[in-house]
């Protein structure tokens, strides 16, 4: 990604504050190839631009909705290649939503099982006298 020379450059700490990420995260994204290497000042300081702020915010938004860094990198690569990645992003969101819904069903099933075990334990009396461990642990799953 070409950086415009006319933009006011940011040092890494300034970029971190402006984008809401840590300097460590910025260096990580550079090593991962998600954020292009910055140009350097004559003293060797990294110099960033508003395009880097925009890219870091995009990375954060993608991560906030559960996209992997590889997914975000692909979105950026598509855009950098001149394509609008909306179809790809929609497919990722559809897949992520299906996964979340699957997890919710699994959690609801677990909630029902735990509630049944809790009721079983309540009927056990004081401390489950005469048991080796606890009726909950000795009971077969899928109550």
Residue 110 has what pLDDT?
Answer: 96
How many domains in the chain?
Answer: 2
Q: What residue numbers bound the domain in which 124 lies?
A: 95-138
- Which regions of the chain are under pLDDT 70? 1-6, 124-133, 135, 139-143
Domain with 53 in it: what CATH number?
Answer: 1.10.1660.10
Contact of 59 with 29, CB cutoff 8 Å? yes
Report the C-alpha gap between 125 and 129 in whole angstroms. 8
Inside any domain, residue 1: no
Report the C-alpha gap between 83 and 74 in whole angstroms. 11
Inside any domain, residue 119: yes
Inside any domain, residue 110: yes
Residue 119 has what pLDDT?
Answer: 85
DSSP-derived secondary structure letter, 10 = B
């Amino acid at each position: 990604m070409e950086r415009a020379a006319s933009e006011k450059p940011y040092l890494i700490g300034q970029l971190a504050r402006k984008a809401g990420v840590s300097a460590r995260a910025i260096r990580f994204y550079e090593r991962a190839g998600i954020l292009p290497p910055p140009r350097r000042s004559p003293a060797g300081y990294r110099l960033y631009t508003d395009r880097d702020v925009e890219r870091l915010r995009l990375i954060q938004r993608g991560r906030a909705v559960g996209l992997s860094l590889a997914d975000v990198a692909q979105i950026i690569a598509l855009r950098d290649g001149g394509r609008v990645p909306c179809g790809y992003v929609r497919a990722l969101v559809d897949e992520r939503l299906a996964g979340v819904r699957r997890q919710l069903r699994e959690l609801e099933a677990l909630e029902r099982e735990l509630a049944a075990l809790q009721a079983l334990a309540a009927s056990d009396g004081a401390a489950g006298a005469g048991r080796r461990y606890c009726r909950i642990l000795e009971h077969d799953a899928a109550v």
